Structure 1
Amino acid sequence: MARWFIIAGIILIVIGLILWLAPGLFSWFGRLPGDIRIEKENTRVFIPITSMLLISIILTLLINLIRYLK
């Protein structure tokens, strides 16, 4: 279990460094077709349906790949 926490921590550090060094790299994320954005005078609602589906698919593929290689 500790090994998975270390791996998850390293992955989070790498993602953080990528976002810090190249902030424009993921500027498209959250603006995909299917992400709902409602803006009115005093209210803003953002529902990232497509973005979350994309993350879900990528994580599912990664987890299945890791399980397959194990």
Structure 2
Amino acid sequence: MKLLIDRDACQGYGLCHIAAPVLVDLDDAGYADVLGSGTVPAAERNRAYEAVASCPARALAVQE
């Protein structure tokens, strides 16, 4: 499973980082960056789904 971010759609709300700080960081301008390769460890799957659901811009997606 991978967490994907559409950087063009990201509006910098930061809610994904609040939901999944282990998976998503914010750059200096406040836009989301996937940490590492984007591969979601099994223990963080629920947080990945929470991050996707929390994004008002629909900039995140989970790829199974």
TM-score (norm 1): 0.24
Structure with the bigger percentage of helix: 1
Structure with the bigger percentage of strand: 2
Which has the higher Rg, Structure 1 or Structure 2? 1
